[in-house]
Each structure stands twice: as C-alpha cells, then as structure tokens.
Amino acid sequence: MPADPRQCFGLVVALQANYCWVDLVPAAAQAGQLQRLLCTRRTRLAKSGQTICVGDRVRLEGIDWSSGRAAIAAVEPRSSLVPRPAVANVSLVVVVVAVAEPALDPIQLTRFLITAEATGQPVLLVFSKADLLPELAMSQWSERAAAWGYGALPVSCRDGRGLEALRERLSQPGLAVVCGPSGVGKSSLLNGLRPGLELPVAAVSGRLQRGRHTTRHVELFALAPGALVADTPGFNRPDLPADPARLAGLFPEVRQRLARASCQFRDCLHQGEPGCAVGNDWERHPWYGLCLHDLLEQQDRLQRQGQQRADNQGLRQRGDRLEPRLSLQLRQPSRRRQRQRLHGRVEEGVGEDGGPGFSPPDPAG
C-alpha cells in the first residue's frame, strides 16, 4: 500500500506561540520538496495531557504542501527530557557559565550542574569569556571543577580559545542542549561555532552586571550531519529535584565516595550522621547543605499546605475569613427552588395536596 502523502514524520525544531516549526525527515522532505513546515497541534493531544517540546519526534497529518502547513497528530516516546528549558531526546547537557561579566557564582553553578545531572545524560561544563581572566585564575577554576568531577572546557569567542575543541565535542551525533544563566554568551558561542548563524546577542547590564534576555525561545541548529544543538533562554535560578534523598547522588564527588564505602544508615542525608561515608571534607559540602535545606523546607511547606487543605475541608472561604460549611442534612432549600419545583408539579397536573392539578382548557375543545 503506498504511503499517505498527507502524513509524514519530522522533528520539532522550534516553538513560537501556538505554532511549531517541524523539520521533515529526509525522505518526506524529498517527496514534498519542503524541508520545514509550520504546524499546529491537534486538540486531542492537549486533552490527553500530551505536551510538545523542542526535540520531539512527531507524526504529521493534514499536510498542505502548497502553503507549507500541517498538524501534529502524535508524539513519539522520548528517550530523555530536560524540564527547564523543555527539550526532549537530549543526549548531552552543556552547562555554560561565564568566569567574568557576570562574575561566576559557585552556588548558582552548582544548582545548574544538579539540574543537568538530574537528566541522567552526560554533562559538559564550559567556562565562557576565558579571555577576561588571567591564566592562573583560569587554571584554578579548571582545577576546582576537576575536583568536583567535571573536565571543564575554557572557551573565548574573542580569541577563539577552545572553540575547536567545543565544536568537535558538539559535532557528535545526537542532540546537545546549551543552558546557563543569562549573559554568559551561549548565543555568542553558537555564532562562533557556526558562522552565519547571526543569533542576537547583547552586552551585560553595566549597572547590575546581569545578563539581558536576548534568546526568547528554544531552537535547534545543526552543527554537523546528525548533530543538533539547542540554544535556550537564560535563567538564573534552576529548580532542584523534588526528592531530598536523590540530591546527594547528583554530586559526582558524593557518588565517588559512596562507590568506595557505604553509609551505616540507608536514609543517610550526609549531614554529619553517625557512620556517614561521605563526610564533609569536600568543597561543595556547604552548598550541598544549602540545597538540601531548601528542599526540606519546600517539602515541609507542601506537607503543611496539604494538611491545611485537609483541615479546611469542612470550611469555606467567605471574604477574608473561613467559616464552617453547613451539613447537607441541615441545609434548607431556597424558596425560589421550592416555587420552581411546585410550579413544575402544577404544570404536570399534580396539585399542591397531591390531587389532580389545574389543567388549562383545550382551545380545540
């Protein structure tokens, strides 16, 4: 049976408002003489709770080749997902931070690395704007990252330092997502890796020394055959995993220590408990403690909110205060509802006393 020319498969490369740009697979693109279609989403996807992310492989239908439009009918299963920014089927997470302008914040960097580790995919740490630091200071940052478990790559768009090594790493088949704070030069790196891309860039705010948001949406770009890179908007406070017990496993230095010895208690949170095999003689231990404290506070807050909702089930909000809800057995029907019910019974020919009701005369009689 010949394939339906109104159906084909593709890859979501960008999301803009309520539309998706989808690159077609080579066979479909050759048949339709188009490589990219502007697509809407079928309503049934939203009703079934399915979301569409950049990097999703999708099935298209209702293709109008003349106008270059189609509709996404189904989303294929994902191999991985970076939740923020949402990118599907990622094979490498590239965390980019600047060593200067804005100054590097180790706690912020730790949170980005935790988010990257939570995806379960390989993580590459890139130090951008390496030309703004002396060689000794740059070497010290690289040594610190190595002690954390990351082989960091210093890169500079001004003098080209590290660009070729980064291009070689990102040219491997797969989808790499570039994430990091605003103003660290993510789009500038992509412009250096792929000349002619001309992504918009902006200087760091002089007064606040914070990055400006120039990238507004996630978009995929090809660096080599089969190698895609996602440029993403910057954000300054990544979310932490919801489970506090999972946090320690997202630190490579903790994983290395637990591979050599086990803690005495299975629920150890590595905060100085008796028999802890992790200890506190590693640089990021205080930052691990801060993240753990934030997660435990968040967990307690959610539990209190849940308990409050359970306690308030017998209450209702009235203005700025709560008042008890009246039991159903004690509620009196409204007079309006009683009159409506009585009026309906009279029209049906049933009187108020249960006897025959009044019926209007038949005009034909």
Q: Under CATH, what is the fold of the domain 244-302?
A: Ribonucleotide Reductase Protein R1; domain 1 (1.10.40)
Mean pLDDT, residues 47-66? 87
Provide the b/e sequence for 327-360 (b: ≥16 CB within 10 Å): eeeeeeeeeeeeeeeeeeeeeeeeeeeeeeeeee
Q: How confident is the model at residue 209 (pLDDT cuts 50, 70, 90)?
A: very low
Percent residues over pLDDT 90 in the chain: 27
Q: Which superfamily does CATH assign the domain made up of 8-77 to? A: Nucleic acid-binding proteins (2.40.50.140)
Mean pLDDT, residues 90-116? 90
**Confidence (pLDDT) at 265:** 87
The answer, yes or no, to whether residue 275 has pLDDT greater than 70, is yes
Class of domain 82-231: alpha beta
d(CA 234, CA 214) in angstroms, rounded, equals 9
pTM: 0.74
Domain ranges of the chain: 8-77, 82-231, 244-302
Contact 152/127 with Cβ under 8 angstroms?
A: yes
- Each residue's pLDDT tens digit, 220-273: 888 888 889 888 775 667 778 888 888 999 999 999 999 999 988 888 889 888
- Each residue's pLDDT tens digit, 145-199: 999 999 999 998 888 888 999 999 998 899 999 888 877 878 888 888 887 666 6
